[in-house]
Amino acid sequence: MVTAHRTCPLCEAVCGLRLTLDGDGHVTSVKGDPDDPFSKGFICPKGASLGRLDEDPDRLRVPMVRVGDEWREATWDEAFRLVDQGLRDVVDTHGRQSVAVYLGNPNAHSMAGALYGGPLIRALGTRNVFSASTADQMPKHVSCGLMFGDPMAIPVPDLDRTDYLLMLGANPLESNGSLCTAPDFAGRLKALRRRGGRLVVVDPRRTRTAALADEHLFVRPGTDAYLLLGVVHTLFAEDLTAVGVEVDGLEEVRRLAKEFTPQAMARMCGVPAEEIVRLARELAAAPTAAVYARIGTCTAEFGTVAQWLVDVVNVLTGNLDRPGGVMFAKPAVETGRRRKPYAAGRWHSRVRALPEANGELPVATLADEIETPGAGQVRALVTVAGNPVLSAPGGPRLDRAFRDLAFMVCVDPYLNETTRHANVILPPPRVLQTPHYDFSLLSFAVRNYARFSPPVLPLEPGRPSEAEILARLTMIASGQGADADPAPLDELIIDRMLRRAVGTPGSPVEGRDVAELRASLDGATGAERRLDAMLKLGPYDLSLAGLRSHPNGIDLGALRPRLAEVLCTASGRVELAPHPLVADLARLRERPAARPTELVLIGRRHLRSNNSWLHNVEPLVGGSNRCTLQINPGDVARLGLGERALVRSAGGELVVPLEPTETIMPGVVSLPHGWGHAGTVQRVAAGHAGVNANTLTDETVIDIPSGNAVFNGVPVTLSPA
Ligand SMILES: Nc1nc2c(c(=O)[nH]1)N[C@H]1C(S)=C(S)[C@@H](COP(=O)(O)OP(=O)(O)OC[C@H]3O[C@@H](n4cnc5c(=O)[nH]c(N)nc54)[C@H](O)[C@@H]3O)O[C@H]1N2
Ligand SMILES: Nc1nc2c(c(=O)[nH]1)N[C@H]1C(S)=C(S)[C@@H](COP(=O)(O)OP(=O)(O)OC[C@H]3O[C@@H](n4cnc5c(=O)[nH]c(N)nc54)[C@H](O)[C@@H]3O)O[C@H]1N2
Ligand code: SF4
Ligand SMILES: [Mo]
């Protein structure tokens, strides 16, 4: 029996786990780690099934090569050589822009993704960079980039101290929180209420989170921006503003907000005008307050404007960068502090001329780039930890487009709806064979905290770690071939990092000798050495050895005000009225109010699900975790529907089982994404196939400033099936 401590990699809550393994390396129990200062023993059903997931017999163990419709196993050397050949053929004939890359969500949870995603993109030398971010939080990056100068400067609600939390389009009781790293989110919300605070949830569904709140308001999908404009209007109209930080554009926002009266906004969003006014008054009157909005408001037609308005309200009520308001975490490792203010739209996509955001093009236009002939047409694709056939808008079109690629390589543990189109699949090792540090999620934590988990089990001889897989792909992409040793890549990156740091005034190593610093670095692999270097350059005087000696994690304290440190705007002030967002109000003004009979589709999440890839773990599927269409019983009766319905949208059609429930507002239906398992060798998932929600979403409709996909507020019609 061995006990091991690990951070759970399955969601943003970063819970500490305590695993027990038998002599053969099988997980016999998974518990929350009571000694973790952040998660304090919390665990959810997903974390509890980590052992099952890790030992899933359907996970790939060796590289797979597709020849026609047949798969065969390959050695690692052979697989990398085929990748080198496949990519080289495409680049030689069609140029570098003809290779696209798609990085999926689990990259945000892995050291390999954090450390090698950037180098891989740079080595490919392509602007056809896509990721799950444009199906998720890109609106927040763009709004924060424009307001604070840095797209990664995303303030989080100070959950443990706030007196008032207005939550829009988030359901942490199912999702465990997002862009707000907070293990036991539910416990923290209950504590907020126990200390006399108030929680208000805005959602077209009365969710489990809403049930726990003081108040729940139904909002018409896709209209949170209108609701927030009504709040901003009221704050000015009733002279309730109390700006506590230096801003530019205050008068412009005051002037802009004039026309957006609560009465007019109520007609758009369905929240009564007097409720909008009351929300504004309560936010202003609370000793401290935080507005927090997540996926429901991001993956919507006015996603970026809504994210902007969230922080406008936080600024206007004096709650930006103060305890109890919204604050910026100070992680132990800061990946690339910006020097230049964020600029949007530096280049555009070839086919639809959509602007780049944060270095990426919208995944909503990936199919266009593959299907449309001409110079720069995408002919090859590299995916890492992504399943866009199920997760991207208009997924079935991508399913068809992928078939026409000249070459595709996927780094993924599963043969699934996306990777089945690959020529080569490179599977990363088991979770327990992988070191873990949360480079990105700890930047959005409600407490400053650090934890490193070394691998629990060794790699089989000859098997590369995911870091090595990505490093070798990077070497291939930079033209150095399949057999090049990737070790110098890490050393080059470390060297550059140290050189910059010794020359930076105020850095902990200012003026020191680079060679000496390099010699003092610790770590079994290049990835670990890079982490050690970053910790040593970070603000807490930490090191890899220091983290190793604290296997339960280290609490680095409550959030402290630090706006001056993160602000990177040209003016040196918070930009309250960035031009691209002000300009986008024109689009919002033109949208007609919904007709009473109109039906719109939204998504939802389930505690025992995780996008598309946990449906092969028996304890996590079944029960209430099913792919059904939630619908208000009034709509069922009005439309004369039975047990199933035919759902049609501009994007496509599906037949789905109905789940009538009073918890969803009339005129709204909800279907979870990540289902529609087909053509794969995942035996459990195949028995719970469900349908692909992204058959119905429409890749031609996006949030303009960010290029983000629109999953919520999709017009649909229903008829008996
Ligand atoms: N168990 C589980 N956890 C997960 C995931 C998972 O699939 N399963 N996925 C992870 C990922 S990738 C992410 S990004 C996070 C997301 O984390 P959350 O943002 O908390 O995601 P959801 O649970 O989908 O909650 C979104 C809520 O928005 C509501 N909504 C839909 N449309 C609108 C709208 O127009 N306005 C408003 N105000 N609300 C709306 C939905 O009804 C839903 O309750 O969760 C992560 N955690
Ligand atoms: N309709 C609708 N669509 C949505 C959403 C919605 O709310 N509604 N939500 C969107 C959101 S928020 C997101 S984040 C995206 C997610 O979009 P994606 O990231 O494209 O999809 P996932 O289902 O998370 O796929 C993750 C893939 O990574 C693989 N994987 C798991 N662990 C690892 C690992 O350690 N290494 C590697 N290399 N691979 C691994 C899995 O097998 C799976 O193939 O979906 C989006 N799609
Ligand atoms: S809440 Fe998230 S991090 Fe915590 S155990 Fe569950 S899946 Fe893992
Ligand atoms: Mo996500």
Q: Tokens 């990092």 appear where? A: 497
**Are the beta carbons of 443 and 88 closer than 8 angstroms?**
no
**Partners of 408 in beta bridges:** 381
Separation of alpha carbons 86 and 151, rounded Å: 35
Of 290, 298, 132, 133, the C-alpha closest to 221 is: 298
The string of DSSP codes covering 26-77 is -EEEEEE-TT-TTTTT---HHHHTHHHHHT-TTS--S-EEEETTEEEE--HH
pLDDT at 338 exceeding the cut of 90? no
Distance, CA of 309 to chain centre:
20
AA letter at 6 = R
Nearest atom of ligand 2 to the alpha carbon of 697: 1
What is the average pLDDT score of the chain? 96
**pLDDT tens, position by position, 409-439:** 999 999 999 999 999 999 999 999 999 999 9
Mean pLDDT in residue range 240-259: 98
**pLDDT per residue as tens digits for the range 524-554:** 999 999 999 999 999 999 999 999 999 999 9
Helix (H, G, I), strand (E, B) or coil at 86: helix
Q: How confident is the model at residue 693 (pLDDT cuts 50, 70, 90)?
A: very high
Question: Which residue's C-alpha comes closest to atom 6 of ligand 3?
Answer: 44
Please identify, in words, the CATH class of the domain defined by 64-135+341-436+452-549. alpha beta
Q: Which CATH architecture has domain 158-331+568-587?
A: 3-Layer(aba) Sandwich (3.40)
Confidence of residue 679 (pLDDT cuts 50, 70, 90): low
Which residues' Cβ are closer than 6 Å to ligand 2?
A: 104-106, 110, 132, 135-136, 295, 299, 384-388, 391, 411-414, 416, 428, 466, 603, 611-613, 673-674, 693-694, 697, 711
In ligand 3, the atom with minimum distance to the C-alpha of 610 is 7
CATH number of 2-54: 3.30.200.210
Residues in the chain, how many? 721
473 lines ligand 3 (CB under 6 A): no
Look at ligand 3, atom 8, and give the residue with the nearest C-alpha: 47
Decide if 113 contacts 106 (C-beta within 8 A): yes
Pairing outcome for strands 27-32 and 16-21? antiparallel
Structure confidence at residue 595 (pLDDT): 83
Is 517's C-beta closer than 6 angstroms to any atom of ligand 3?
no
Q: Check pLDDT > 90 for residue 336.
A: no
Q: How far apart are CA 613 and CA 105, in angstroms?
A: 11
87 DSSP assignment: H
Cβ pair 474, 564 in contact under 8 A: no
- Residue type at 456 in one-letter notation: V
Provide the pLDDT for residue 593: 87
At 612, is the pLDDT very low, low, confident or very high (cuts 50, 70, 90)?
Answer: very high
Identify whether the C-beta of residue 228 lies closer than 8 Å to the C-beta of residue 266.
no
Mutation probe of ligand 1 site: the residue of 103, 174, 205 with most atoms within 8 A of C-beta: 174
Q: How far is the CA of 295 from the centre of ligand 1 (A)?
A: 5
Q: Which of 175, 206, 307 to mutate to test the pocket of ligand 1 (most atoms within 8 A of CB)?
A: 175
What percent of the chain is predicted at pLDDT more than 70?
99
Distance 387 CA to ligand 2 centre (A): 6
Locate the ligand 1 atom nearest the alpha carbon of residue 207 and give its number: 44
Convert the pLDDT of each residue in 485-502 to its tens digit: 999 999 999 999 999 999
Give phi and psi for 165, each to the nearest 5.
Answer: -125, 120
- Going by pLDDT thresholds of 50, 70 and 90, the confidence category of residue 597 is confident
Alpha helices in 538-632 (DSSP H): 544-548, 563-566, 579-590
| Distances from the Cα of 565 to the Cα of 98, 310, 568, angstroms | 39, 21, 8
Q: What is the pLDDT of residues 169-182, one digit of tens each?
A: 999 999 999 999 99
Under the banding of pLDDT at 50, 70 and 90, the label for residue 594 is: confident
Residue 45 phi, psi (nearest 5) = -60, -30
Confidence grade of residue 654 (pLDDT, cut at 50, 70, 90): very high
| 72, β-bridge pairs | 65
> Is 290 a residue whose pLDDT tops 90?
yes
Give 595-720's CATH code, choosing from 3.40.50.12240, 2.40.40.20, 3.90.1150.10, 3.90.480.20. 2.40.40.20
How many angstroms from the chain centroid is the CA of residue 433?
Answer: 24
Mean pLDDT of 50-64: 96
Res 512 pLDDT > 80:
yes
Task: Give the atom of ligand 2 at the shortest distance from the alpha carbon of 178.
Answer: 12
Domain extents in the chain: 2-54, 64-135+341-436+452-549, 158-331+568-587, 595-720
pLDDT at 396 exceeding the cut of 80: yes
Distance CA(208)–CA(398), nearest Å, equals 34
Report the percent of the chain where pLDDT is more than 90: 96
Task: With 0.75 as the threshold, say if the pTM is over it.
Answer: yes
Mean pLDDT computed over 282-307 = 98
d(CA 653, CA 714): 12
